[in-house]
Amino acid sequence: MATYLITTSHWNEASIGVFLLTLNLATVIAQTPSGWLIDNTRYKRYLTAGAALTIAICVLVPAFASEMAPVLISAAILGLAAAVIPPAIAAITLGIVGPSGLTKQTGSNQAFNHAGNLVSAVAIGLVGTYVVSWGVSPIVAFLACSAAIIALMIPEKSIDHTIARGGVSKIEKNNQSESERSALALVFTNRSLLIFMVCVGMFHLSNAAMLPLAGQKLALEHKELSTLYISICVVIAQIVMIGIAVLVGLRCDQWGRKRFLLVGFAVLPLRGLLFSQTENPYLIMSGQILDGIGAGIYGVIVILVVADLTRGTGVFNFATGVVITIQGLGASFGSFLGEWWAGEYGYSSSYALLTALGVIALLILAVLMPETHPDKVKPSRFNSGRSRSTT
As a whole number of angstroms, the distance between CA 96 and CA 350 comes to 43
Instruction: Answer yes or no: is 238 within a domain.
Output: yes
Rounded to an integer, the average pLDDT of 212-223 is 79
| pLDDT value at residue 239 | 92
For residue 79, tell me if it sits in a domain.
Answer: yes
pLDDT score at 280: 84
For residue 77, give the CATH number of its domain.
1.20.1250.20
Contact 182, 390 (CB under 8 A): yes
Would you place residue 2 in the very low, low, confident or very high pLDDT band (cuts 50, 70, 90)?
Answer: low
Tens digits of residue pLDDT in 147-156: 999 999 999 9
Quick one: pLDDT at residue 4? 63
Cβ 163 vs Cβ 95: under 8 Å: yes
Q: Compute the average pLDDT of residues 300-318.
A: 87
- pLDDT for the residue numbered 201: 95
Q: What is the CA radius of gyration of the chain?
A: 20
Tell me how far apart the alpha carbons of residues 350 and 207 are, in angstroms, rounded to a whole number. Answer: 12
> Within a domain: residue 130?
yes
Does 198 score more than 50 pLDDT?
Answer: yes
Which residue segment(s) compose the domain that 53 sits in? 2-164+178-386
Q: How far apart are CA 41 and CA 274, in angstroms?
A: 46
What predicted TM-score, i.e. pTM, was given to this entire model?
0.78
Q: What value does the mean pLDDT of the chain take?
A: 83
Mean pLDDT of 334-354: 90
What pLDDT sits at residue 177?
44
- Higher pLDDT among residues 51 and 67, named by residue: 51
- Number of domains comprising the chain: 1
**Residue 6: its pLDDT value, please?**
64
In a domain, 291, yes or no: yes
Q: What pLDDT does residue 384 have? A: 44
Domain membership of residue 172 (yes or no) is no
Please state which of the ranges 98-112, 139-153, 214-228, 355-369 shows the lowest mean pLDDT: 214-228
Is 121 a member of any domain? yes
Q: What is the per-residue DSSP string for 302-358?
A: HHHHHHHHHTTTS-HHHHHHHHHHHHHHHHHHHHHHHHHHHHHH-HHHHHHHHHHHH
Handedness of CA 239, 243, 246, 248 (dihedral sign): negative
Whether the pLDDT of residue 181 is over 50: the answer is yes
Lowest mean pLDDT among 6-10, 14-18, 41-45: 6-10
**Sign of the Cα pseudo-torsion (267, 268, 270, 275, in order):** positive
User: In this structure, is residue 171 part of a structural domain?
Assistant: no
What is the model's pLDDT at position 88?
93
173 falls within a domain: no
**Rounded average pLDDT over 14-32:** 83
CB-based contact 133:4 (threshold 8 Å): yes
Torsion of CA 388, 91, 76, 74, to 10 degrees: 180
**In angstroms, rounded to a whole number, what is the distance separating the alpha carbons of residues 290 and 269?**
10
264: pLDDT strictly greater than 90 = yes
